[in-house]
Amino acid sequence: MRRAGWICALLMVILVGTSLDGAVVGLAGRADSSSPPVATRQAFTVTRAMTMNDPTRRRGTVARQLRTYIEHTPRGATISIMSFYLSSSITWPALRTAYERGVNVRAILYGGQEGTPMPSISWEGVRLADAIKAGRDRGRRGSWVVWTRRTARGKDSPGTVMHTKFWQFSKVGRTAKVTMIGSYNNGDPPDARAYSAMVTLTDPKLYADVQSMFVESAKDRHARRNPQRRFSGEGWDLYFFPSTPITPKNDPVMERLRSIPGNADTRMAISMYSMQGRRGAWLAQRLASMVERGAELTFVVGPDVEASVVHRLRAAGATLEDGCWRTGHRRAPYAYTHDKEMTATWVTDGVRQHAAWIGSDDWGNGSGGSQSDQATIGLDSTWAYTSLNRLLAPQIAHEPDNLARCNPL
Count of CB atoms situated within 10 Å of the CB of 263: 12
Whole-angstrom Cα distance, residue 114 to residue 122?
A: 15
Whether 146 shows a pLDDT value over 90: the answer reads yes
Q: Return the ∠ at Cα 245 (arms to 407 and 279), rounded to 5°.
A: 40
| pLDDT (0 to 100) of residue 90 | 98
pLDDT tens per residue, range 91-117: 999 999 999 999 999 999 999 999 999
- Please give the residue that has the higher pLDDT: either 38 or 222: 222
Confidence of residue 34 (pLDDT cuts 50, 70, 90): low
Among residues of the chain, what percentage have pLDDT more than 70? Answer: 91
Under 8 Å between Cβ of 180 and 197: no
Whether 11 shows a pLDDT value over 60: the answer reads no
| pLDDT (0 to 100) of residue 38 | 79
Report, as an integer, the average pLDDT of 257-282.
Answer: 98
SS (H, E, C) the chain: CHHHHHHHHHHHHHHHCCCCCHHHCCCCCCCCCCCCCHHHHHHCCCCCEEEEEECCCECCHHHHHHHHHHHCCCCCCEEEEEECCEECCCHHHHHHHHHHCCCEEEEEEECCCCCCCCCCCCHHHHHHHHHHHHHHHCCCCCCEEEEECCCCCCCCCCCCCECCCEEEEEEECCEEEEEEEECCCEEHHHHHHEEEEEEEECCHHHHHHHHHHHHHHCCCCCCCCCCCEEEEECCEEEEEECCCCCCCCCCHHHHHHHHCCCCCCCEEEEEEEEECHHHHHHHHHHHHHHHHCCCEEEEEEEEEECHHHHHHHHHHCCEEEECEEECCCCCCCEEEECCEEEEEEEEECCEEEEEEEEECCCECCCCCCCCCEEEEEEECCHHHHHHHHHHHHHHHHCCCCCCCCCCCC
Closest to 84 in 3D by CA, of 287, 343, 359, 304: 359
- AA identity, residue 152: A
pLDDT tens per residue, range 199-252: 999 999 999 999 999 999 999 999 989 999 999 999 999 999 999 999 999 999
pTM of the model: 0.91
- Please give the residue that has the higher pLDDT: either 13 or 283: 283
Under 8 Å between Cβ of 248 and 280: no
